[in-house]
Structure 1
Amino acid sequence: MTLTRFPAICALSALLALAACGGGRTVGLPSPDIGAATVTRADFGDSDPTDWGGPGPAAYAVHGIDLSKFQSRVDWRRARAAGVNFAFIKATEGGDRLDPYFAENFRGATEAGIAPGAYHFYYFCTDAERQARWFIENVPRTPGAMPPVVDLEWNPFSPTCTYRPPAEEVRAEVTKFMDIIARHYGQRPIIYTTPDFWERNEIARLGGETWLRAVAETPDKVYPGARWTFWQYTGTGIIDGIAGPVDINVFAGSPAEWRAWRAARAI
């Protein structure tokens, strides 16, 4: 596993206008203090732990979570004390869904000293421009936040969209979405994905930073040759301050590299 090295005319006229004015439905989110990014040691449990058979997530110093409405309310200060250093927070899905806990979670994480970031669950039955517009409407351009994330995975439980486009279409539409988001926020989105989606759609061809799910084996075995910045290693984590199971992740670097990444990739 290798540490990813970091980099430092919208299609719709309405989107151009929105990006120019920085408008959004969610307003007043606090700006994280990048300089206060002290790393706290992870003290987590797992209701279904994996035997990694060697160096696993414990080899990394910087741990964090991702969450959505399913975790309900979080005691962020307790979570921070337990070792949560960053939180990817669900904001939007498709072109019309907003997570009802997004703003509350973003504020709570920020106030507790946890680096916050927003993610969008991509919906393959809605065009890329509409989804980008929806994300921009609901996620303010907040200085100090982590870069946006686009969550790419199949949703077999969707009651309205079972469409699985060919790989070329997936990559083309996702590229449109990412380009619009990058122009607005000044940072290219991180790609989150799963093993089957990665392989079937050749997501490596999109380039950029990745956040990879691998809960039974380490990423070097599940995604041979892939470079990653974040690794989601369990979906059954137990963390003080959070009711029920939660996804836990690691950052692919040391505390010093984490601080450098935060400075380079902050919105």
Structure 2
Amino acid sequence: MLRVLILSLITSVSIWSAATPAQAENVKKAQFGDSKPVNWKGRAPSTYPVHGIDVARFQEQIDWKSARKAGVNFAFIKVTEGGDLLDPMYADHWRGAKKAGVARGAYHFYYFCTKPEVQARWFLKNAKKDKGSLPPVLDMEWNPFSPTCKKRPPAAEVQKQMKTFLKIVERGYGQRPIIYTTPQFYRDAGLHQMKNEEYWLRSTAKTLDKAFPGQKWSFWQYSATGVISGIEGDVDLNAFVGSKADWKKWLKARQR
């Protein structure tokens, strides 16, 4: 009897794990709140059907099952920063998202006082390469609060470092990273010059056609004050650019 029970449990876990990538295609309607809602002028985030979040150590405990039920279809999870920082919540978030059927990808926060080669190797050392993973993300933004590095290289140097990081990670991870950025960094670094890249753009007060005129995008971070069942405190909210059918196509093309 005990042997049968153990085999049953193993089978259940296997089925659950194997089903996870497919579950990500089953879009749940977003039932999010916002502690500081915006009166959008133009196409509001709510008109996009596929929503998700991004998380780091600040979200210490997440009930991923509840979050998934509330409409979290994808999650970008911080894994590394610079050349030596590993986010302490990465492993927990990564496992929890997978078990709940949330499509998840890992992101790296860039640090301008460490060589891009060192940062790329650090990311590759720590980011899990599980089946069903979304593309990795390179988070590019100025960090005026950093106690150790306040460098702001010129645009040409920024782009050079980014291209080095992107090339190494693409070769090592097997997927071309998505670039996350803010309006100010985008302008300062001249990122409109980096053609054929995939973008995840932040704008919490204006629609993206106003904040990033002419720039194509796949993900829009539209709030830093989201309220979601299963998550304590505020959380970043994001929308995918297309329809449910577009989401399935994108997953097919970009999942591992």
For 1:3, the equivalent position in structure 2 comes to none
2: distance between equivalents of 1:231 and 1:66? Answer: 11
The amino acid across from 1:173 in the alignment is: Q
The amino acid across from 2:151 in the alignment is: Y
Q: Does 1:35 align with 2:22?
A: yes
Q: Does 1:243 align with 2:242?
A: no
The amino acid across from 2:193 in the alignment is: R
- Residues 248/211 of structure 1: CA separation in 2 closer, same or farther (3 Å cut): same
Residues 89, 102 of structure 1: 8 Å contact kept: yes
For 2:102, the equivalent position in structure 1 comes to 114
Q: Which has the higher contact order (CA 8 A, sep 6+)?
A: 1
Residues 81, 110 of structure 2: 8 Å contact kept: yes
Residues 153, 197 of structure 1: 8 Å contact kept: yes
Deviations 1:1-20 (A, max 9, x none): xxxxxxxxxxxxxxxxxxxx
2:179 alignment partner, one of 180, 191, 195: 191
SS at match of 2:58: helix
2:252 alignment partner, one of 237, 241, 263: 263
For 1:205, the equivalent position in structure 2 comes to 193
2:155 alignment partner, one of 167, 183, 186: 167
For 2:243, the equivalent position in structure 1 comes to 254
For 1:9, the equivalent position in structure 2 comes to none
In percent, how many aligned pairs have the same letter? 55
1:47 to partner: Cα distance = 0.6
2: distance between equivalents of 1:213 and 1:88? Answer: 14
Residues 60, 254 of structure 1: 8 Å contact kept: yes
1:208-227 equivalences in 2 (<5 Å) = 208-227=197-216
2: distance between equivalents of 1:152 and 1:61? Answer: 26
The amino acid across from 1:163 in the alignment is: K
- Give the structure with higher Rg (CA): 2
1:211 to partner: Cα distance = 0.3
1:50 alignment partner, one of 33, 38, 43: 38
For 2:8, the equivalent position in structure 1 comes to none
Unaligned runs of 5+ in 2: 1-16
Q: TM-score, normalised by structure 2?
A: 0.91
For 2:123, the equivalent position in structure 1 comes to 135
Residues 31, 110 of structure 1: 8 Å contact kept: no
1: distance between equivalents of 2:238 and 2:224? Answer: 9
Name the count of aligned residue pairs: 238
1:3-82 equivalences in 2 (<5 Å) = 33-36=20-23, 37-82=25-70
